[in-house]
Structure formats: C-alpha cells, structure tokens
Amino acid sequence: MFSLALGEADQKHNLAFSWFTRFRPFSSDHEKDFVVKDKHSQYVVRLCKYLKERRQQTTRETLLNKLQQVEKELQQSKMEREIESIKTEVVQLEEETKSDNTKAAALQRADTHKRETIGNEVKKIDILTALNKEKQRTKRQR
C-alpha cells in the first residue's frame, strides 16, 4: 500500500514536472499568480525557479567573462597602439638626432675652415706687415 502511494506520488511528480516544463508561462507575473497546493508540484515549482535563477546566473557569468575578455583585448590593443606610437617617436628622434649630428658636423667643418682661413689671413697680414717694415727700413737706409 505504501509503495502504491509512492508510485502515485512519483506519477504526480512526473506529470507536474512535465506539465510545468512544457507549459510554463514566460512572464514572471504569471508565475506569481500560479498557486500550487500539491507538495510535489511545489517542489517542481521551486526546482524550476532554481533552474531559472541558475540559468540567469550562468548567463550573467558568461556575459561577465565575455566583458572581461573584451576589456583585456581592449587594453592589449591600447598597449599595442601605445607601443607603436612610442616606436614611431623613437624613430623620429633617431632621425632628428642623425640630422642634428650631420648639421653639427657641417658646422664644425665650416668653423674649422673659417679658423683656417682666418689663420691664413693673419699669417698673410703678418707677412705683409713684415714686408712693409722691411721696405720702410730699406727706404730709411737709403
């Protein structure tokens, strides 16, 4: 007799579970209006609510994981862009340094040339003044 009652309860449970999973309302308002008096049906309702909450939580976790992955990818792409901009700045600075070094070398060569020219001019002036002095001495001696 007891086993017959358990079998009957299992049948009610299976019937309620299959009915609730097939014809369960999609709106939460309908679920609130749904009143269950049978213990097995209450179990099924609680189980379905638990499954619904678990599915929502799983969906939330999945979305959060996707969001974190997208944020990581965004940070990586930002870092890559920053690295590329830094590399271009380094290349520009190297080019500027090369051109500055070239300019400095050209200025140094020009300065050296000017100094040599001035030195040669000074030597010429010294020679000319010495010649002029010699001429004046020779004129006085005559």
> Can you tell me the distance from the alpha carbon of 16 to that of 44, in angstroms, rounded to the nearest whole number?
7
Q: What is the pLDDT along the chain (142 residues), one digit of tens a residue?
A: 444 444 555 555 555 555 555 554 444 555 554 555 667 777 788 888 888 888 888 888 999 999 999 999 999 999 999 999 999 999 999 999 999 999 989 889 998 999 899 888 989 899 999 999 998 888 888 7
Residue ranges of domains in the chain: 2-102
Tell which residue, 108, 79, 85, 109, has the closest CA to residue 93: 85
* 8 Å CB contact between 27 and 52: no
pLDDT of residue 45: 80
